[in-house]
Amino acid sequence: MKLYDAAAVLRSKNSGPFEVTVDVLFDDPEIYDKIKRSGVINAELVSRLYNIAPESITHIVFFDQALGFKITFARAISSGTFLDRDVYGAQQHAPLMDVEIDLGPDR
């Protein structure tokens, strides 16, 4: 299953002018728990998907209470400056959409 199909919410936004935050929320605690325990969401994956150095990733945090996780990383170009193609950071979740998630044989 693709992350896009498993998540109830998959969005991104600026976290100030120099960072982007991606939020992924689930409505099924079992799916959330399987993804969290799988370790598939990690700095290596984010670094590869976004073509950034692992040091550019400031947070990958799972929030059990919200059934979701947050990824924050440095923008290559600050928001609203020359050559910025996404001033609000609202399209930066797209690389995560097609990540394959193995939920086991019952899903």
Q: Residues 23-48: pLDDT tens digits?
A: 999 999 999 999 999 999 999 999 99
- The CA distances from residue 11 to 31, 55, 58, 104, 106, in Å, are 18, 22, 17, 25, 27
Q: Residues 62-97: pLDDT tens digits?
A: 999 999 999 999 998 999 999 888 898 888 999 999
Q: What is the domain extent for residue 39?
A: 3-77+88-94
Domain count, the chain: 1
Residue 34, domain CATH:
3.30.70
With respect to residue 61, please indicate whether it lies within any of the assigned structural domains: yes
With respect to residue 71, please indicate whether it lies within any of the assigned structural domains: yes
Q: Round to whole Å and give the CA distance between 23 and 47.
A: 16
Q: Round to whole Å and give the CA distance between 34 and 32.
A: 6
Among candidates 7, 57, 78, 74, which has minimal Cα distance to 36? 7
Predicted TM-score (pTM) above 0.75: yes
**Which DSSP letter does residue 39 get?**
-
